[in-house]
Amino acid sequence: MELTIQQGDLAFAVGRALGSVSNKSPLPLLSCVLLEAEKDGLRVTGTDLDVTCSVLVPCTVKSPGRAAVSARHFNDVVRKMPKGTLSLSIASGQCEVRYGDGKGWSKFPVQDPADFPRVPELKADGRISIAGDALSRLIARTSYAASNEETRPQLNGVLIQGSDKQVTFVATDGHRLARCVRKGAFGSLSKDGVIVPSRALQTVSRTAEEATSPVEIEIAAGKNQAGFTTQVGEYRVQILTRLLEGPYPNYEQVIPRSNPREVRAKRGDVMEAVDIVASHADNITRQVRFSVRAGRLGVSSATELGAGEHEIAATYSGEDMDIGYNAGYLLEILKSIPTEDVVFRLNTALAAGIIEPVGALPQSEEEILCLIMPLRLPEATG
């Protein structure tokens, strides 16, 4: 294999593929990226067998070939090389990269590419196209609510459902839930949905945010695989992932139909109050107390660490109410909502609460709904 390539192109490809390389693996080749010089460019692939990222970048190929090199070491050196043309070749069990018109060179040991895990061929039975910025938002506004516990693996991802009218992203860990909807024709996706691992979606989100073309989402439910493909300038990026096996909980059953108590407040004021008071909260439960009163909302906490209270203006005209929440969950929800004001739709101190934006989102075709379960206060009775 012999080729010439721009340093920026190689650094992008290796850096992006590195995101799918396992930090710790008993298989040495899973700590490598695969370099494949083809007629249409250099393809760089990294995988941990669950998530695979493959990037095709332009180069001039003198002779095609394949090689596997240590991902982190190769990335660390290539990104430090000066901008300009690099010469890359494979000979005598080494990958040699020359730079700076002969100013310097680096050599890297290579491993047999024949042993590198084969990238699965995706035979999709469902396919949609979505703008990259929209996909990135849908992921950001839901994936934070996915579980990271192994006891219910189907909650470690985001449920994606499609119909002729909309696409829906849902994540929950049993303590909070985030649902985002984007209107449009997405009927080629199953209304039953597929569960995409949240880790894979973090990789997808970064690429989608930079995408210069729509992201093509392909689902091969029969093979339990999904693919996300797009252009980032001249670069073709494809991310493949295994789907999580369901069934996913019937989340619609846990969303309250009628929460009669409404509290409206400035989102920034609520975040500030929670953030300050949470400094006194228990390190495990992170509990803060919401004291809802006519025209105001008090946020407080008291533990052996200390105590604090922060009061803000709020629109509320119902009965006095005290309710406990996990401060970390609250802050993540509030960060995901882009509007200036938010509304808390509440029922009792022990019932699920809904948090929604007040007014239309910047993207009128999108909707957000968040649910949070309360924490029992010592004197709470309902």
Q: Taking a C-beta distance cutoff of 8 angstroms, is the pair 302, 288 a contact? A: no
Looking at residue 223, its pLDDT comes to: 80
Domain 2-115 part of CATH 3.10.150.10: yes
Same CATH fold assignment for domains 2-115 and 126-252: yes
pLDDT reading at 360 higher than 80: yes
Please give the CATH topology (third level) of the domain spanning 255-372: DNA Polymerase III; Chain A, domain 2 (3.10.150)
pTM, full prediction:
0.92
Q: What is the residue whose two structure tokens read 């860990």?
A: 173
> Residue 302 is encoded by which pair of tokens?
């008291």
Please state the CATH superfamily assignment of the domain spanning residues 126-252 in this structure: DNA Polymerase III, subunit A, domain 2 (3.10.150.10)
132-191 pLDDT, tens digit each: 999 999 999 999 999 999 889 999 999 999 999 999 999 999 999 999 999 999 988 877
Cβ partners under 8 Å of residue 250, min gap 6: none
The residue type found at 152 is R
User: DSSP string of 195-247?
Assistant: EEEHHHHHHHHHHHHH-SSPEEEEEEGGGTEEEEEEEETTEEEEEEEEPBP-P
State how beta strands 194-197 and 157-162 pair.
Answer: antiparallel
Per-residue CA distances from 146 to 73, 103, 154, 173, 382 (Å): 32, 49, 9, 5, 27
220-255 pLDDT, tens digit each: 877 899 999 999 999 999 999 999 997 999 999 999
pLDDT reading at 284 higher than 50: yes
12-68 pLDDT, tens digit each: 999 999 999 988 777 888 999 999 999 889 999 999 999 999 999 999 999 999 999
Looking at residue 133, its pLDDT comes to: 97
**What percent of the chain has a predicted confidence (pLDDT) above 90?**
85
Looking at residue 382, its pLDDT comes to: 46
pLDDT reading at 281 higher than 70: yes
Higher pLDDT, 278 or 102: 278
Looking at residue 124, its pLDDT comes to: 84
Looking at residue 122, its pLDDT comes to: 84
> Residue 41 is encoded by which pair of tokens?
């460019």
Domain ranges of the chain: 2-115, 126-252, 255-372
Looking at residue 381, its pLDDT comes to: 45
Please give the mean pLDDT across all residues of the chain: 94
